[in-house]
Structure 1
Amino acid sequence: MTFIYSNSNLIPIANDVVNIRTLGYIVLTTSIVVAVIALAFKLNRKEGQTAQAPPTIPWKWFSKGKQLVGAPYRGILIAEKYKPLYGDIIQLSEPFKQRVMLNSFEVISEALDKQSGSTSDRPRNVMLVEMTGIDSSVAFRNHDEKHKKLRRIIASGLHPVAARSYSDMHMSTTAFFLLDIFNRTTQQSESAHDVIDMKLPDANYHSEALLASIQDSIGRFIMRMTFGYIVKENDPVLKRQSALAQDLISNFGTHFWVNDFPILRYIPSWFPGAGFKRYAKRMYSMRQKTVQETFEAVLSQALRGDILPASYASNLIELKGGRNISEDDTELVRWTSNSMFAAGSTTTTALVNSFIFAMSIRSEIASKVQAEIDAQIGRDRIPTLHDRSVLPYTDAVLQEVIRFYPVFPLGLEHVASEEIEVRGYKIKKGTILEGNIWAIMHDPTLYLDPYTFNPERYLKERPETDPRRFLFGFGRRVCPGQHVANNGAFVMGAAFLSVFNISASEETMKKAESCANEPWKMFKAYGAMEPMPFGCTVSVRDKAAASVLETCKETSIMT
């Protein structure tokens, strides 16, 4: 006998009734799934045989492209293995959609820039966009009239001039970052002078401490820039924002059947295999809570007429009428401000982490950066954003990190809203388009000897192409926060090397040498491309650097 709980009473229900109901759901769902798969295979086989379709990678029955779509390091795999065989335009057939990989800047520009009016939508993602409630965000909304308004309003707060206005905020955040690294990688001390020569026995700990410092510091910056929110020690609001961003980004490489069969979103949460519904519900609730804790708090203060700290949200609320702001404008500010954390924290964290990793295994380049900073800035302060023009080698190193270890080897997916033609190939309406950023960054027609890490390539009389041109997207989906992210990464990377030395462990150096021809194998296979934990030692450079750390206590925003 089975019991169900209802209104504080246990009600007996026959086992065979429960079993029959469960069996009915299983039979119905299985029948629908099998029928749709069979139809999709039949239709896609015909499409794959069309003479004008792009070259298609052979597929296996019942996986039909999934072995590539879900493969680790997918963009790199396609660039390294399949581009030489099939060319710059490659089609992957899936049971329910067509996907085209664009493997050179020329074809990406032709499809996503020149035909942006037809290629600026996003593909439908039932699981991670619709069911979690992020379909209102700038990054994932289709390119309709509202999306155009969202992009205009976010650009007004993040354009290059506006991005430079956050210089002081970058500096206070960077001061916090340096102190936080010091505290995490050394024993507690009242003065940085006391621990110059101290080394911890477990060097492997330092890379994880570095990542935690980077994530925390960038999170603090975004919360303050966007909402005027000053993060506290062990702040639950920052923790929720960070957890939500990391969870969503890490799962974008995961295959969810509900994306292939949207009807599955309506099955009961107790149904076998319905764990995705519980995950989506948790993400949705967390997102709603973060909106309430951040934007709604700023809005309620503005409506009361309170004086607000300057921030992206408060400035736009004031610009749109303050206490008299319309509901439409409120929605625009609400969803642009709440789009910033995931995009900004993910990109900048991965970039700074990759910069520090690259310097740990290339001590000669790190020493050149330190020499330039010492000569141009001196030893009594950390570099600022205003120093960038006199630190060309440091900036070139950051560019080479962006090129050699692109944060996203594949750009965010676009979808063709109507049939288009690229290089003589017909690309059908509804086809997913992916720009292969790894392929561009390692294209020998753009970069001489592309598998060599060489910052000098940007300092020649005729410098090679700035890779920042490709990192932040294409067409009408270029990331509007690119200037803020670029500025933040420069200041944090330069300041880190001005104060600290970092050296990779012997084990890390051996692994780097063994992966010299496949450097991506030291990085995470899914989500944003950032280093896996690596052995390293971080130490204060000398007494002058220790004195600079002491002055950081005056400018760091700790609370």
Structure 2
Amino acid sequence: MSSILAHNLHLEFDFSYTSFPLVSLSIAFGVWLVWKTWKLITISRASLPLPPGPVPLPIIGNLHQMSVTDQSSTFLQWQEIFGDLVYVNIFGTPTLILNSYEDAKELLGVRSQIYSDRPRLSVAGELVGWNRSLVLGKFGERHRTMRRLLARSIGGKHAQSFRLHEEFAICTFLLNLLEKPRDLKLLLSQLTGSVVLDVAYGHQVKSGHDQLIFWFRRIVQDFYDATAVGSIIVDMIPALTYLHSYIPFTSFKKTVATWRAHLTETIEHPFSRVKEQLRNGIARTSYVAQHLSEGPLDFETEDALKYSSFNLYAGGMETLAVALSTFFFVVTKYPAIQQRAQQEIDNVTEGKRLPTSNDRERLPFVEAVMLEVLRWSPITPTSLPHRLEVEDIYKGYRIPQGAVVYSHPWAMSRDKRSYTSPHEFRPDRFLETPKEPDPRLFAFGFGRRICPGKHIADDTLFLAIALTLATCNVTKRVNEAGDLIEPIPQYTMGVVAHMAEFDFEITSRSDDAIQMLTAAHTQLGE
């Protein structure tokens, strides 16, 4: 028995020994095959062309062709020459512009796992502190935490719990506007600020000189300045941030310190006040109060809550104001549209009550007016930049790792393949069969960077339009010669497209309308 066992062991040993070179050879061949395949793929990728675009200059690339104030116009010119995908080089940074909805949906939506990062912005991000926010923060766990917190409170159907906040702010706005129609821009800012601050912190704005609104306006302007061309130069040469402020070209550091102080004060103050109100049992319903009242939060989650709450204002204040400014422009310029929408509202309410969100399905033309406002004058002509984390291939083109990617909503809104007569304001395009594409698909961003407050914004915009039409008449102003002043659309382009001020008149539709508006305001404010 022992001899048989020994013989078997000997055979097993011999088998392993004799097969070792074969196993080694197989492993080596497998490694070589993987390396060769990777090499071929790499060579194949490298041989693919970049998307078309203007010829860059040495060092600065296409920087000299970028408009300081109106990037959208430059992008539109390039689209006419090079098509929907345009590739440029900005001081060595590969940059891709997406002019069509389908391309933006595929890259920023379907492939969002690799397209959701933000480029490094040394001034606005690291020095001022916006890199801790949802707007400029890196795509990662903190970003996911902030979006998760927001989704639990204001996402989807959760947004409905804040409708009373919206209705109170809109009633306040309309009563003030009827008294001071020349203050439209200021009152729109107060309206949108009131809605967002009430939703975020339970803060009710009761005067035109609210301290919190002033602080938030200030940091929004700081953000625009921190992302302007002068700051971008610092972003391209990060070494400047490490030099002392007395050295030439570094005086910006003193300004940055002021911006950072503004941001810190604006974030900390309302958040701390909600905590104190909760301790005293007097906190109103709000995004911050809801999460803080659920129990102690760890440091990272509380910090994410703090920064996501201020982002509600920073992201929503001007966007709503811009959309409503466009609405007042179009009902001034196109009285037939206003009259048709008013008739639809009167058929539903019979003039005995104010319209509410519950009437929305029965007000299809009012809804179409709102959609056409978003399409005809996109709030953000170009998106905030995304950053590609790994090299990608799309439509036979190579997109380099680290590429900065912009979507271009203005081009999407003017796409003749999607919209007939795109320069015309025509709400019926959303009522006809087949309907033309809903502009909300691109108005609020894409993928994992889509605006988390879009449901609040959508509700507020519809309610503001419906309540204005139900209670007010907006008409063209008459000049000294007795002629009607025809409003002309003019914009100041930037991160958002601001409609220039225009002349109009506003009056109440009836005494009953004013009484209903006043009664609703009193009841909602109790």
Q: Sort the TM-score into its range (normalised by shorter chain).
A: 0.7 to 0.9
Q: Who is 2:523 aligned against?
A: 555
Partner of 1:308, secondary structure, is coil
Q: Who is 1:243 aligned against?
A: 218
Q: How does 1:95-174 map to 2 (within 5 A)?
A: 95-174=91-170
Distance 1:119 1:244 in 2: 27
Q: Who is 2:10 aligned against?
A: none
**Residues 395, 76 of structure 1: CA spacing in aligned structure 2 closer, same or farther, 3 A cutoff?**
farther
Q: Who is 2:50 aligned against?
A: 53
Using the TM superposition, give the Cα deviation of residue 509 of structure 1 relative to its aligned residue in structure 2, in angstroms. 5.4
Using the TM superposition, give the Cα deviation of residue 546 of structure 1 relative to its aligned residue in structure 2, in angstroms. 3.0
Residues 61, 92 of structure 2: 8 Å contact kept: no
Q: Who is 1:357 aligned against?
A: 329
Which structure has more RCO (C-alpha within 8 Å, separation ≥ 6)? 1
Aligned residue among 179, 184, 202 for 1:183: 179
**Residues 553, 107 of structure 1: CA spacing in aligned structure 2 closer, same or farther, 3 A cutoff?**
closer
Q: Who is 2:378 aligned against?
A: 406
Q: What is the percentage of aligned positions where both structures have the same residue?
A: 25
Paired amino acid for 2:305: V
Using the TM superposition, give the Cα deviation of residue 510 of structure 1 relative to its aligned residue in structure 2, in angstroms. 4.8
Paired amino acid for 2:189: Q
Aligned residue among 397, 415, 422 for 1:443: 415
Distance 2:118 2:124 in 1: 13
Paired amino acid for 1:413: P
Q: Who is 1:424 aligned against?
A: 396
Partner of 1:296, secondary structure, is helix
Residues 250, 528 of structure 1: 8 Å contact kept: no
Partner of 1:295, secondary structure, is helix
Paired amino acid for 2:416: P
Q: How does 1:373-384 map to 2 (within 5 A)?
A: 373-384=345-356
Residues 253, 526 of structure 1: 8 Å contact kept: no
Structure with max Cα Rg: 2
Using the TM superposition, give the Cα deviation of residue 220 of structure 1 relative to its aligned residue in structure 2, in angstroms. 1.4
Distance 2:225 2:327 in 1: 21
Paired amino acid for 2:347: A
Distance 2:417 2:430 in 1: 15
Aligned residue among 412, 422, 430 for 1:458: 430
Paired amino acid for 1:278: K
**TM-score of the pair, normalised by structure 1:** 0.80
Q: Who is 2:24 aligned against?
A: none
Q: Who is 2:289 aligned against?
A: 314
Distance 1:265 1:557 in 2: 49
CA RMSD of aligned residues (A): 2.2
Using the TM superposition, give the Cα deviation of residue 387 of structure 1 relative to its aligned residue in structure 2, in angstroms. 1.6
Paired amino acid for 2:184: L
**Residues 445, 142 of structure 1: CA spacing in aligned structure 2 closer, same or farther, 3 A cutoff?**
same
Which whole-Å deviations, capped at 9, do the CAs of 1:8-42 have from their partners, x for residues lacking one? Answer: xxxxxxxxxxxxxxxxxxxxxxxxxxxxxxxxxxx
Q: Who is 1:480 aligned against?
A: 452
Residues 100, 434 of structure 1: 8 Å contact kept: yes
Q: Are residues 1:282 and 2:258 paired?
A: yes
Distance 2:432 2:460 in 1: 25
Q: Who is 1:72 aligned against?
A: 69
Q: Are residues 1:433 and 2:430 paired?
A: no
Greater Cα offset, 89-98 or 58-67: 58-67
Distance 1:353 1:530 in 2: 8
Q: Who is 2:42 aligned against?
A: none
Paired amino acid for 1:149: T
Q: Who is 2:39 aligned against?
A: none
Using the TM superposition, give the Cα deviation of residue 82 of structure 1 relative to its aligned residue in structure 2, in angstroms. 1.9
Which 5+ residue runs of structure 1 have no aligned equivalent? 1-48, 186-205, 513-518
Using the TM superposition, give the Cα deviation of residue 273 of structure 1 relative to its aligned residue in structure 2, in angstroms. 4.0
Partner of 2:301, secondary structure, is helix
Partner of 1:117, secondary structure, is helix
User: What is the total number of aligned residue pairs between the two structures?
Assistant: 475
Residues 351, 530 of structure 1: 8 Å contact kept: no
Using the TM superposition, give the Cα deviation of residue 53 of structure 1 relative to its aligned residue in structure 2, in angstroms. 0.9
Q: Who is 1:210 aligned against?
A: 184
Distance 1:159 1:115 in 2: 22
Which whole-Å deviations, capped at 9, do the CAs of 1:181-203 have from their partners, x for residues lacking one? Answer: 12323xxxxxxxxxxxxxxxxxx
